[in-house]
Structure 1
C-alpha cells in the first residue's frame, strides 16, 4: 500500500513537472512567435497632435461639393492616416490614379470647387505634413509603370512604382543608383523628400534624375531637369508635392556590381575622421551604413560601420533572383526583446557585433545588398 502511495505521489510530481515544463515551452513559443511577427495591419492611433494650427478635431466639409462620377473614387469622405498611425486626417475623397487623365480631371475638379490636393502612395512621409484637412487625395499606387533603357542606362517610371519592384525588374544586370536604405517606398515619395540611402558616392536621389514630367496646379504639363526649368526642378524635388504632380521621371541606373561585405567597430566620435579618410576617398566602397550601440554599457559611444567593397562589375550570369531578406523573424525577436530592458539591449549589441558576421555571405550583388538592409529595420 505504501509503495502504491509513493508511486502515486511520484506520478503526480511527474505530471506536475511535465505541466510546468509544457506551460513554459508553450508560453516561450507563443512569446517568440509574437515577437517575430510583422505588423498585422495598418496602425491607427487617431490624431495625437495639431498638425496645421487648427483646433482638434476637425470635421468634414459642411457643404461638400457633389462627387464627379467620371473620376475613379476609392473613397468618398472618411479619413486617411500615414504609416505612423498618428496622423488621422479627414479628407474630401480619394481618387485612385492610373493615368495622366485622372490627375488632370482631379485638378480641374479641385480648382472648380475650391478643394485642396494631397498626394499619397505608400504613406511613409510621416508626421502629417503630406496630408491636408478635407483635401482631395490622389492615391498614386496604381500609377506605377516602369520601362528600362539598357543602352542609355536609364529607367522611366511613374511615381507610384515601388523600389522593391524596380530592383526585381533591374536584377541581375542593373541596380538602382540612389534610393533609401530600404526598398518599401514609392519613387514619388522618395522624389518628394529628396531621399538618400546607402550609396554615399551617389548622394541623394536628386543626383540620379535625368528629367521629370510634371503637371502643375493649372493642369499644364512641363518638363524639368537639373538643366531645364531648374527653379521648378529644385522645388519639386524635396517639395512634398506642393509644387506639382510628377507624371514620370527618368532616372539613372547602374551596373549591378558585386561587393565584399565587412564591418568595423569604431568609436562614434571617430566617425567623421573615418568617413573622410576611409569611406569618402575609396571609390570602390559602393555602399555603407552605420548602427549606433543602444546597449547601456556603451550607449551611443560605439558604432558598427557596414561597408561594401566592389570586387566585380557584374554578378555571374546564373545569379539567382532577389529573395526576401534573411533572418527577418530572428532580427525582429532580438529588436523586440531589446525593449524589455538593459540585459536584452546588451544581448542585441553582442549579437550584432559578434554573431551576425558568422552567418553573412562574403559577397553580394548590389540589388541583394540593398534588399538585405531592409531586414534590419522591419
Structure 2
C-alpha cells in the first residue's frame, strides 16, 4: 500500500516505532467510515486515525488495532467567495486547498510552512504558521463535522459546543473522526519580501515592533546551528503588503525550487561540521538575496517539503518544537548554546516563528505570546541511539521549562510524563474529557497510551 505499511507493520515518517496492526482501511465515504468504526467495535479492536503520518510519536496507530487512513477522503466541497470560506473533507491536503483557492484569488489564513499535510491532521495538532496576525489554526475554523466514538455525527463549533471544540482542536484524533471542515480564508495578495540580519539580544524588541506593524503579514527567522556561528547569527524574512495587483503570474502556484540541491546540502550537514557551516553560509546568502522581491501569499506558504521525506535505513530526521515567552529569548538562546557546545546531538536546523497566546485548545502550547523554535535533528535508529538522543532532548526540554516555555506534542515522545505535565497542566483534565466522550476507549494511539498513565 505504501512504504510505511508493509506486512501489517505500520510506521510514521520518523520510522522509530514500527508496530504490528490488524489492518489499515481507507476512508472514502461517510457511511463507509461509520461502518469501519462499527466493525472494529464489533471485533473488539481499537481505532486510530491517520493522514500523512507526519506526527512522529505513534499518534496514528495502536498495536493490533485498525488504522483509518483518511487521505482518500479529500474532496473540496465548496468555496464561498462572498463569505471567504472553503468547505473541505478532512483528508484534503493544504496543496489541494491552495489549488482550489488560488484561481478564486483567495488564500489560507493559517497552515504549516509546508503544504503536504492533511487539514484533519493539522486540526488535530492545532498548527500555527508564518502568519503573525491570525494566530493558530483554530481561529480560522468555523465548524467541523465529527464522527464520535459512539457512532453519532455532530456539527461542532466554538459557540454551540465549546468544550468538544477545544478537545478536538489539538486533540490528536482521540475524540472522533473529523469528517469535513469549513475554514475562513482570506484574500491572496502580493507581498514584498524584506530580509535582514538581527542580533539575538535585539530579537524580542524586533518581534514586538513587527507585531505592531500593520504592513507586515507574515514573518519567520532562522538561527545558525553551524559550529562557526552556533546560535549567534540570525536572519529574518518578512512579508509586507503592497498595492501590486494579483496578476496571473503571481497567482500561479510554484513547485519546490531546487529540492535536489537543498537535499544534497542537508545530507552533507547531517554528516559533517563543514556541511553545517556551508549550508548556513549558502542559506543566509540566498535568503538575504530575496530582499525586495515580490511573491503572492499562497506562494509564500509553499516551502520546500522534500527534506521532510528523508529515508535512510540507519538514521532518521525527527522534529521537536519549543515555545519561549518573547522576552526570555536571549537568555534561553544562551543556555541552549552552552548546552549544544557540550552535547553532540546532531541538530540540523532551527526555524523561528511568532505564536500568539492561544486558549482555543485544551492542550494549548502558547500560554502567552511566544517565540517558537522548530528544531530538526538527525540520529540513528538503534535503541542506544534513540535513548542517547532522548536524554539530550530531555535536557533541552528542561532548559525550555526553566525559561517558562513549553514544547509541542506531535513529535517522537522523548519527553518524560513529568515534563509533559509541567508543559501541559491541563493534560489530566484532557484525559478525563477523553473518558467522557469515549469511556470504552474505542479510539486510541501509542502516544496516548504512553502519557495517559
Q: What range describes the TM-score normalised by the shorter chain of this pair?
A: 0.7 to 0.9
Within 5 Å, give how 1:69-80 maps onto structure 2. Answer: 78-80=8-10
Q: Which aligned pairs between 1:295-334 and structure 2 lie closer than 5 A? A: 295-312=226-243, 315-317=246-248, 319=250, 321-334=252-265
2:39 aligned residue (92, 103, 109): 109
SS in 2 for 1:371: coil
Q: Report the CA distance between 1:180 and its aligned residue.
A: 0.5
Kept in 1, the 8 Å contact 2:141–2:182? The answer is yes
Q: From the CA coordinates, give the structure whose radius of gyration is larger.
A: 1
In the TM superposition, residue 361 of structure 1 has moved relative to its aligned partner by: 7.4
Is contact 2:194–2:290 with CA below 8 Å preserved after alignment?
no
State the number of aligned residues.
306
Distance across 1 between alignment mates of 2:132 and 2:8? 42
What's 2:118 paired with? 186
Q: 1:281 to 1:88 in 2, by over 3 A?
A: same
How far apart in 2 are the matches of 1:192 and 1:249?
12
Matching residue of 1:156:
87
Equivalent-residue separation in structure 2 for 1:361 and 1:183 (angstroms):
24
| CA shift for structure 1 position 140 | 0.5
Counterpart for residue 345 of structure 1: 276
Q: 1:93 aligns with which of 23, 44, 60?
A: 23
- Aligned position for 1:174: 106
| Structure 1 residue 308, shift from structure 2 partner | 0.7
Cα distance 1:93–1:355, how it changes in 2: closer, same or farther (>3 A)?
A: closer
In the alignment, structure 1 residue 119 sits paired with structure 2 residue 49: yes
More RCO (CA 8 Å, sep 6+): 2
Is the Cα contact below 8 Å between 1:255 and 1:313 reproduced in 2? Answer: no
C-alpha distance in structure 2 between counterparts of 1:207 and 1:148, whole Å: 18
Q: Is the CA contact (8 Å cut-off) linking 2:251 and 2:296 kept in structure 1?
A: no
Q: 1:263–1:305: 8 Å Cα contact kept in structure 2? A: yes
Cα shift readout 1:61-98 (whole Å, capped 9, x = no counterpart): xxxxxxxxxxxxxx9x8121101111211111111111
1:16-42 deviations in Å (ceiling 9; x for gaps):
xxxxxxxxxxxxxxxxxxxxxxxxx84
Query: Per-residue CA shift, 1:180-227, capped at 9, x if unaligned?
Result: 011110001000000111112111110100011111111111111111
Spell out, residue by residue over 1:324-371, the C-alpha distance to the aligned partner (whole angstroms, 9 max, x if none): 122222222222222342333222222122244436771000111111
Distance 2:99 2:225 in 1: 33
Q: Hey, what's the Cα distance between the residues in 2 that align with 1:42 and 1:107?
A: 25
**What are structure 2's unaligned runs of at least 5 residues?**
310-453
Tell me the TM-score normalized by structure 2.
0.64
- Pairwise CA RMSD: 2.2
C-alpha contact (below 8 Å) 1:235/1:243 kept by paired residues: yes
Following superposition, the deviation at residue 139 of structure 1 comes to: 0.8
Q: Is the 8 A contact 2:226 2:273 kept in 1?
A: yes
Change (3 A) 1:375 1:93: closer
> For 2:263 and 2:131, how far apart are their aligned partners in 1?
25
- C-alpha separation in 2, matches of 1:316 and 1:145: 27
Partner of 2:220: 289
Gap change, CA 1:356 and 1:290, over 3 Å in 2: closer
Aligned pair 1:276/2:212, yes or no? Answer: no
Q: Deviations over 1:153-196 (max 9, x none)?
A: 00011110010121122114011111101111000100000011
Whole-Å separation in 1 of the counterparts to 2:91 and 2:301: 20
- Name segments (4+ residues, structure 1) moved above 3 Å: 41-44, 317-320, 355-361, 372-378
Deviates more, 1:240-249 or 1:109-118: 109-118
> How far apart, in 1, do the equivalents of 2:245 and 2:100 lie?
16
